A and B are shown apart, each in its own frame.
Chain A
Amino acid sequence: MSQFETVIGLEVHLQLSTRTKIFCSCVNQYGCAPNTNVCPVCLGLPGTLPVLNHQALLYGIKVGLALNAEINSFVKFDRKNYYYPDLPKGYQISQFDFPVAKKGYLNIKSGGQEKRIGITRAHLEEDAGKLVHDNSGSCSLADFNRTGTPLIEIVTEPDLRSPQEAYDYLNTLKLTLQYLGISDCDMEKGSLRCDANVSIRPVGQASFGTKTELKNMNSFRAVKTALEYEVRRQTQVIIAGEKVVQETLLWDDEKAQTRAMRSKEQAHDYRYFPDPDLVPFTIDYKIIDGVRAELPELPQAKFLRFLSQYGLSEYDANILVADGGMADFFEAAVKEYPQAKKIANWLAGPVLMELNNRKTPIQELKLSPQGLVTLIAKVEDGVVSNLVGKEVLTFMLDEGKGADEVIKEKSLAQVSDDSALLAIIDEVIAQNPAVVEQIKSGKPNAAGFLVGQAMKRSGGRANPKKLNELIMRRITGV
């Protein structure tokens, strides 16, 4: 549609779920009363000494390995200097030229195509505090609980070519990070944040156009919408014969538009220099191998294994892999009952629906893999129909009981008993003479309607095969 090509690079900040902050022993916890998780180190008081949290370093290496990156053998921390009231020291401890990881990549699927997105670097740093805006409008209030929360910043190469690709990258990255178990990756709580750099250039041009930086998007959907908006805006600017100005823009989700930042903090001069308070780190192969040994199977590998090992469809495998808990549940269930496709269908269908309705992760469901498998076996053995099976599942989850117990208590077992079914069938036949005529005149498919009616009357408990058989026998005498 356009003579322009879009170029996007993303920066993702992820809060690491270590117990303590990155450079001090304050608890790393969200949602506490203001300024109660602070100490002289994270408040930046003179004479204090930051010391790196061992776990934060290991998590950083873990992210690097999961993103196929090189782990730097020499790692150091630097000061990034700027003034802002949410930054007590007047600098942020970050990493400049020797980040924990560099030169990685993440494979994504976008528009049915596989694509490799380069990861420039991943570095550790501390989060800043939070500014609360006072109702009086005359001052701001600083809460330093978040100050010193460990962050890893993951920066891509300018490899993304559309807002949709950016969106797909973010989802793949988030899933990978969730598998690592190093963060709750919750954008609403701010534990995962994303800024975007975007520019456009005439198709075929090798050099990049002038980029703008987008901030303040609070969902992946918002990142995509903001990028779409900004690409349209830049296109209009260039078509009008004007120049794109390099600036930072804030996304306003309500108005669905960007606006320039008013503050003059745009003239960045961070004057990075090595932080003399933190000693450098040598990361040898022993440390790296130790972390590598703890790496879980990552989503893409699991997806491929589910296809080959269990013969699942890509659709089912995708749904299972999109939730690590679901994937584990699936494998545990298959061990109990070697019917992978049936189990996948149940998980991707009724169980997923229950999870969405209940807004709960599968780990918190009152259902064990054995419990689900027992239910599936009941359906397969014809004890209950597929439809009633779903009902049984709902009762199981509500009451935390097993399939057998629920079926017995609620008298949900399928009725295959001829005499009970015949009574229902006779009623249905009596009330639908026209349909009966159709069947008699050689249209056996019309019986489906009668089966449906009889099923309804049985409260879904009739065995549909049996119903069909009995109806045909009743009408045609065969």
Chain B
Amino acid sequence: MPITKEDVKYIAALARIDVPEDKLEGMTKSLGGIVQYVEKLQELDVADVKPTSHAVPVGNVLRPDIIKPSLTNQEALAIAVEAKDGCFKVPLVIE
């Protein structure tokens, strides 16, 4: 499956990455190369292999429903780029 410039633009938009027009060509090529490399896996017959969702054979790890202290508001906001009224200040969101 060849990767097109449109694919790169679409993926960049989903990831909120700004790809300058002059880098598009090169990025399409290198992304295409990666996909092509992985494509080799398609040659395998996996008809009898169950889909793998997790690589580690661990399951049913649960936590008891017991409250533990949260961060204080000051601690939580310490990582905020900007804060106001006890909240994280973010770009204006309409709807």
Contact, CB under 8 Å: A54 / B63: yes
Q: Which residue of B lies closest to A23 (CB)?
A: B63
Contact, CB under 8 Å: B95 / A261: yes
Task: Out of A35, A54, A81, name the residue touching B77 (CB < 8 Å).
Answer: A35
Q: Which residue of A lies closest to B68 (CB)?
A: A25
Contact, CB under 8 Å: B86 / A33: yes
Contact, CB under 8 Å: B64 / A34: no
Q: Which residues does chain A contribute within 8 Å of B1, judged by CB atoms?
A: none
Assign chain B's interface to a size class: 35 or more
Interface of B is mostly: loop
Contact, CB under 8 Å: A20 / B91: no
Contact, CB under 8 Å: B87 / A53: no
Q: A276: CB under 8 A from chain B?
A: yes
Question: Given A51-B61, A54-B63, A250-B95, are A134 and B84 also a contact pair (CB < 8 Å)?
Answer: yes
Contact, CB under 8 Å: B91 / A140: yes
Question: Given A132-B87, A141-B87, are A36 and B70 also a contact pair (CB < 8 Å)?
Answer: yes
Give Cα A52 to B66, complex, Å.
Answer: 12
Shortest CB-to-CB span from B66 to chain A, Å, is: 7
Task: Out of B55, B66, B76, name the residue touching A19 (CB < 8 Å).
Answer: B66
Give Cα A143 to B88, complex, Å.
Answer: 7
Contact, CB under 8 Å: A76 / B93: no
Interface of A is mostly: loop
Give Cα A262 to B58, complex, Å.
Answer: 44
Contact, CB under 8 Å: A143 / B54: no
Question: Given A52-B61, A85-B91, are A38 and B70 also a contact pair (CB < 8 Å)?
Answer: yes
Q: Which residues does chain A contribute within 8 Å of B73, judged by CB atoms?
A: 33-36
Task: Out of A52, A263, A274, A276, name the residue touching B62 (CB < 8 Å).
Answer: A52
Give Cα A274 to B53, complex, Å.
Answer: 6
Shortest CB-to-CB span from B14 to chain A, Å, is: 6
Give Cα A243 to B20, complex, Å.
Answer: 37
Q: Which residues does chain A contribute within 8 Å of B82, judged by CB atoms?
A: 139
Q: Which residues does chain A contribute within 8 Å of B56, judged by CB atoms?
A: 279
Contact, CB under 8 Å: B62 / A140: no
Contact, CB under 8 Å: A54 / B54: no
Give Cα A269 to B16, complex, Å.
Answer: 13
Contact, CB under 8 Å: A139 / B71: no
Contact, CB under 8 Å: A140 / B60: no
Q: A374: CB under 8 A from chain B?
A: no
Give Cα A116 to B77, complex, Å.
Answer: 49
> Contact mask A324-341 → B, CB, 8 Å, 1/0?
000000000000000000
Question: Given A83-B16, A280-B59, A281-B60, are A35 and B65 also a contact pair (CB < 8 Å)?
Answer: no
Contact, CB under 8 Å: B70 / A39: yes
Contact, CB under 8 Å: A276 / B61: no
Q: A296: CB under 8 A from chain B?
A: no
Contact, CB under 8 Å: B54 / A274: yes
Q: List A360-398 residues whose CB lies under 8 Å from chain B.
A: none
Contact, CB under 8 Å: A52 / B92: no
Q: List A41-62 residues whose CB lies under 8 Å from chain B.
A: 43, 45, 51-57
Contact, CB under 8 Å: B87 / A34: yes
Task: Out of A18, A84, A262, name the residue touching B65 (CB < 8 Å).
Answer: A18
Best-buried of B59, B65, B84, B89 by chain A (most CB within 10 Å): B65
Give Cα A417 to B73, complex, Å.
Answer: 73
Task: Out of B54, B67, B68, name the residue touching A76 (CB < 8 Å).
Answer: B54
Q: A237: CB under 8 A from chain B?
A: no
Q: Which residue of B lies closest to A265 (CB)?
A: B95
| 18 CB-based A-B contacts, threshold 8 Å | A18-B65, A19-B65, A20-B67, A25-B68, A34-B85, A34-B86, A35-B87, A36-B72, A39-B71, A43-B76, A57-B62, A76-B53, A131-B90, A131-B93, A139-B89, A140-B93, A142-B87, A142-B90
Give me the interface of B with A, judged by CB distance under 8 Å. Answer: 14, 16, 53-56, 58-68, 70-73, 76-77, 79, 82, 84-95
Nearest 10 interchain pairs by C-beta:
A141-B87, A25-B68, A85-B90, A55-B65, A274-B53, A54-B62, A34-B86, A142-B88, A51-B63, A140-B93
